Structure 1
Amino acid sequence: MAAVDAFFVLWRDRLVESGFRAGCPMVAVAVETNDDARQLARSAAVVCARWQEALAALFVRHGLTEERSRRLGAFIIAAVEGAVIMCRAEQSTARSRQPPPKSTTCFSMPCATAPPVNPGPSRSPQPRDLVSSARRSRHALARPP
């Protein structure tokens, strides 16, 4: 769960450094697209799917089932994106420093206690991998899928 925590911290730091002007371009595109730019919404969906796959792979390597890993990946993406929106709206990171809700703690417990499942030669995605993916996604949003 350190990678997930680091991803939240990264966004919190970006928000503070930008005076709460920074935000995720994927959310902006998904929220602001209209019928004249449907390809942008499809591109945003592709970006979300890539992030979810990366997170799911991380969780599977740490002992969660594939189904639970996909659901948890979607939950974390929604939590990060929602946290960015809330912090921008409130011009504060106070909520992002609060302890996680019990459901998040329950999700993370198997990750903390289960050994990695067949880790093989590949490494787990790191926070920088998710950040790099987010940066690449900005460019992908400009292209149709």
Structure 2
Amino acid sequence: MDKAKAAAHRITVCTNCRHVGRPCRPGLDLLKHLQVAISQAGRVLSDDFSLEGSVCMAGCERPCTVAFQATAKATYLFGDIEDAADIGALVSFARLYQDRPDGLTRESERPRALGGKTLARIPAAIVSAEYQLSPLQ
């Protein structure tokens, strides 16, 4: 089975800089180092997270940007991520995010190195049967 399809969680790193119109070397390096760190964190984490690059995540003023996503969970977008300094914090956040059924965390619960780096927390897009309109008869 394809790992990307099997993984319940996704981490996306911005890897293209629209300011210079070419691939973002810091983003590509961050993605590579984060892949190694998640893999080294153990099978429970590495099997549950897919990692990928994205062309633009609209965080250009606060690079590098990293998003955490999962079905029925809040999405997080972090900016000002520094490769070596924040890798451990990103892995710690991945564990926290994985353990939360709704993905929600308070800033005080997140790794200290990510303090002030949360650009967005987007609520989960869940369509509930009780909110759907019933068809006209």
Superposed pair shares fold, TM > 0.5: no
Greater RCO structure (CA 8 Å; 6+ sep): 1
Calculate the TM-score normalised by the size of structure 2: 0.27
* The structure with more helix, counted as a fraction of residues: 1
Q: Which has the higher strand share?
A: 2
Scaled by the length of structure 1, what TM-score is found?
A: 0.26
